[in-house]
């Protein structure tokens, strides 16, 4: 085994962004980076492992909730498309088309409820992660705060709005599609 050299590399490697920040801000950015001292967490090893496990479980729960949200939207849009196809292919009567319209509205409301419910679940898991993060090292906190909370919320709620609008637009298209299908099969008299 090779003996480590006596000249050790600095504890923190300088990245391109670090060099860029130094050139833009001059000595202030360098002073700020030099003044940073990583303070390890004061947790014992078992507690640290428990918190790491809870952090991982919360992150997986968020991914699961996002997956359910997207699957709910996709499934609703597929059902809407199937309703239009059924109405066109089977020459459905007016009563059957009215039933499909009612089911489309109920389905759209149910999917929107699921989207909002899973969004609240994600917020709870994010709050749990934030509470856990406070017990880790200062370096971990510094890295985890690169993306601001405001930016994260903006992204999260923009995507939620997009999903809700997709369901609403899908429901509106179904209503028009079912009306058109009813007109196709109306007797000419």
- Domain borders along the chain are 66-189
How much of the chain exceeds pLDDT 90, in percent?
A: 44
CA separation for the pair 175, 178 (Å, rounded): 5
pLDDT value for 20: 41
What pLDDT sits at residue 91? Answer: 77
Selected residue with higher pLDDT from 91 and 85: 85
Tokens matching residue 58: 């919360």
Cite the DSSP H helix spans in 12-148: 16-25, 27-35, 45-89, 94-133, 138-144
Structure tokens belonging to residue 94: 């007016």
- Where does the pLDDT of residue 188 fall: very low under 50, low under 70, confident under 90, or very high at 90 and above? low
The pLDDT value given to residue 186: 66
Q: What is the mean pLDDT of residues 50-57?
A: 91
Query: Do residues 80 and 168 touch, judged by C-beta distance below 8 A?
Result: no
Best-predicted range by mean pLDDT (41-45, 48-52, 61-65, 178-182): 61-65
Buried b (16+ CB within 10 A) or exposed e, 142-156: eeeeeeeeeeeeeeb
Tokens of 97: 């088309």
Confidence of residue 77 (pLDDT cuts 50, 70, 90): very high
Best CA proximity match to 58, nearest among 158, 5, 132, 120: 132
pLDDT at 101 over 90: yes
Per mean pLDDT, which range of 12-21, 59-68, 139-148, 149-158 is the poorest?
A: 12-21
What value does the mean pLDDT of the chain take?
81
- pLDDT band at 60; cut points 50, 70, 90: very high
Q: Residue 134: its pLDDT value, please?
A: 83
Contacts of 139 (CB under 8 A, 6+ apart): 38
Separation CA 95–CA 118 (nearest Å) = 35
């Amino acid at each position: 085994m090779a003996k480590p050299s006596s000249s050790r590399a600095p504890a923190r490697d300088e990245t391109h962004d670090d060099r860029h920040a130094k050139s833009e801000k001059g000595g202030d950015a360098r002073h700020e980076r030099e003044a940073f001292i990583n303070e390890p967490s004061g947790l014992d090893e078992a507690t640290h492992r428990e918190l790491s496990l809870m952090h991982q479980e919360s992150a997986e729960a968020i991914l699961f909730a996002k997956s359910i949200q997207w699957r709910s939207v996709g499934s609703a849009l597929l059902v809407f498309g199937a309703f239009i196809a059924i109405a066109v292919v089977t020459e459905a009567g007016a009563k059957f088309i009215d039933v499909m319209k009612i089911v489309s509205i109920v389905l759209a409301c149910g999917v929107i409820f699921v989207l909002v419910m899973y969004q609240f679940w994600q917020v709870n898991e994010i709050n749990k992660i934030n509470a856990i993060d406070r017990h880790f090292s200062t370096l971990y906190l510094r890295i985890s705060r690169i993306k601001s909370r405001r930016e994260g919320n903006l992204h999260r709620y923009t995507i939620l709005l997009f999903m809700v609008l997709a369901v609403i637009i899908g429901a509106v298209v179904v209503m028009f599609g079912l009306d058109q299908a009813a007109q196709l099969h109306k007797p000419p008299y």
